[in-house]
Structure 1
């Protein structure tokens, strides 16, 4: 199932029309049509808005899968005090803020991998 198909299923589940969806989220019907035809995809900020509006995770909206969540205690690994503090700080953020930080971390890891391969 594509991102568009997941969005469409959310629209249907809320008994909305596509026009109502577009108006509520500030999306042009032309953009929605482009997403359907695969000409373009929603940008990161729009995906965050859609996930927030429908109360679904960004992971599910993008991949159709939910992340498996485990608490630190369930994993029974040794974490430093700093790492536990990070988890505590993250728990205080909004979903949008968490998504922004996750994107930044993924981008940083991507750049590091490029450097390892000698790509600038």
Structure 2
């Protein structure tokens, strides 16, 4: 993730000191991140993303486009999202596939799903550079409708 931060620093012609001063994040936190000693906590990652006008997905390297935006109802929701995405980042491919299966299952349950299930599935597929095929979308629909899942 630091590589993305470094690209933002360069593209905005900013220094660690300037970002630290403007965001209120201690310079030592950013320096430790640069030197691989630590990664900023969720609240600081959120401040950095907001400072540069990018999404958390972009900061975490999940998406390549800067112009994607995420809307959260609260800071708590944004922090929860960041925590989940940080955990997913630690998974291997098999773990991500299992996570996707489980998320599809949760979406199928009315008490957990937003109204627009199709957009959630598209968001899961948007982690790749490949658009989901009709067969993949049908498979997702089958999983969502499988009561024994």
With normalisation by structure 1, the TM-score equals 0.55
Query: Match of 1:99?
Result: 78
The whole-number CA distance in structure 1 between the counterparts of 2:19 and 2:54 is: 15
Relative contact order (alpha carbons < 8 A, sep ≥ 6): 1 or 2 greater? 1
Change (3 A) 1:65 1:30: same
Retained in 2: the 8 A contact 1:57–1:66? no
Q: 1:31 aligns with which of 29, 32, 42?
A: 29
Among residues 53, 61, 64, which one is paired with 1:63 in the alignment? 61
Q: Which runs of 5+ in 1 are unaligned?
A: 68-89, 114-120
Residue 43 of structure 1 and its aligned partner are, at CA, apart by 0.4
Distance 1:65 1:31, change over 3 A: same
Aligned length in residues: 84
SS at match of 2:60: helix
Q: Is the 8 A contact 2:4 2:59 kept in 1?
A: yes
Say whether the 8 Å CA contact 2:5–2:59 is kept in structure 1: yes
After superposition, what is the alpha-carbon deviation per residue over 1:9-64, rounded to whole angstroms, capped at 9, x for unaligned?
11221122221111011122222121011110010000111111111110110124
Superposed CA RMSD in Å reads 3.1
TM-score by length of 2: 0.45
The separation in 1 between residues aligned to 2:3 and 2:83, in whole angstroms, is 27
| Larger helix proportion of the pair | 1
